[in-house]
Amino acid sequence: MTYETLLIEIDGPVAVITLNRPDALNALNDKLVTELTDALNGFEKDASIGCVVVTGAGRAFAAGADIKEMRVQSYMDAYGNDFITRNWERASTFRKPIIAAVNGFALGGGCELAMMCDFILASDAAKFGQPEINLGVMPGAGGTQRLTRFVGKSKAMEMCLTGRMMDAAEAERSGLVSRVVPAADLLNEAKAVAKKIASQSRPIAMMTKESVNAAYETMLRQGMMFERRLFHSMFATNDQKEGMNAFVDKRPPKFSNS
Ligand code: CAA
């Protein structure tokens, strides 16, 4: 796969997608989000890929929607072309594990894209924010909803209303990111975590992420029911037998992804 706005690296079962418009701080234009959707469609189908990492080239993960492209849109352009909904949200429906490795600015749509992934690993140089209010709009790719679920109402409200940025330490303290690592180690650490995830049973990893997402998208009772049904179904897999037998036999499991 070759793209104009993305770099793709395949490292065994891990695919690394690098958003690659560094001169524009990887601002998300229509081309980039369409290419990202296409790449994710491909990796979802590709049985050799077990986990995806998304990161950014240069000093940003992504500094938001491309303001230069967006500023001329009319209401009818946005509504009529189903702006955002049409091609921005594929990461949130991707069925395999997907990690955001945030190396610098993750602002506006960039922060929203990172939050669509399963979890965020941040470098100590990362900066998060929803500065849309400075442009006379508000977050439009899930920021008011996802950021609030991650960090709570008070901090989300302050960030969306003032547009201020959060550094990596604050993002870790408030639950937005899973861990902070030194900038020089970020990509290697993200790949190592992705390889670990890809070494697990693929269907079990997919069901596990579905179940964690249910905690975040449903009420507790429905989420518990969803978890219990998936948990029961895992006893129909070969990988459940293999995983548990391997533990009893004191050997590493050899999952067959079945
Ligand atoms: N869109 C288009 N171009 C952008 C951009 C964006 N979101 N962010 C940065 N760029 C461009 C700049 O215009 C500049 O290009 P030129 O060299 O051609 O002038 C280049 O990237 C480098 O940026 P700066 O010179 O501004 O770099 P800086 O270090 O001085 O500042 C920054 C960095 C604070 C991130 C600043 O670039 C900035 O504030 N960017 C905009 C952030 C923003 O408002 N994001 C929200 C967008 S709206 C949105 O995302 C809506 C939604 O919810 C979907």
- Whole-model pTM: value is 0.96
Active site residue 109: yes
- How many other β-carbons are positioned within 10 Å of the β-carbon of residue 201? 22
In terms of Cα–Cα distance, which of 90, 89, 88, 17 is closest to 49?
17
**8 C-alpha vs ligand 1 centroid, how far in Å?**
24
Q: Are strands 119-123 and 179-181 parallel, antiparallel or unpaired?
A: parallel
Concatenated DSSP letters of 191-240: HHHHHHHHTS-HHHHHHHHHHHHHHHHS-HHHHHHHHHHHHHHGGGSHHH
For ligand 1, the distance from its centroid to the CA atom of residue 97, given in whole angstroms, is 29
> Is ligand 1 within 6 A of the CB of residue 67?
yes
Instruction: Give the separation between CA 155 and CA 84, rounded to whole angstroms.
Output: 24
Instruction: Establish whether residue 133 lines the binding site of ligand 1, counting it when its CB lies within 6 angstroms of any ligand atom.
Output: no
**Is 65 tagged catalytic?**
yes
Q: Say which amino acid occupies 73.
A: Q
Distance 169 CA to ligand 1 centre (A): 22
Looking from the CA of residue 84, the nearest atom of ligand 1 is: 54
SS3 75: helix
| Angstrom distance (rounded) from CA 46 to CA 12 | 12
DSSP-derived letter for residue 68 is H
Q: What spacing in Å lies between the alpha carbon of 64 and ligand 1's midpoint?
A: 7
Q: Does the beta carbon of 99 lie inside 6 Å of ligand 1?
A: no
Query: Is 107 in a helix, a strand, or coil?
Result: strand
Rounded to whole angstroms, the Cα distance separating 258 from 165 reads: 44
For the chain, residues with pLDDT lower than 70 are: none
Task: Return the pLDDT at 55.
Answer: 98
Atom 25 in ligand 1: residue holding the nearest Cα: 24
**Per-residue pLDDT tens digits for 9-26:** 999 999 999 999 999 999
Residue whose CB lies within 8 A of the most ligand 1 atoms, among 19, 29, 61, 67, for a mutation test: 67
Active site residue: 112, 114, 168, 171, which one?
112
Report the number of secondary-structure helices (H) and strands (E) in the chain. Answer: 12, 10
What is the Å distance from ligand 1's center to 185 Cα? 25
* Catalytic-residue membership of 189: no
pLDDT at 194: 98
Determine the pLDDT at residue 1.
Answer: 75
Among the residues of 95-185, which ranges form H helices?
Answer: 109-116, 143-151, 153-162, 168-173
Query: What is d(CA 119, CA 254) in angstroms, rounded to the nearest whole number?
Result: 26
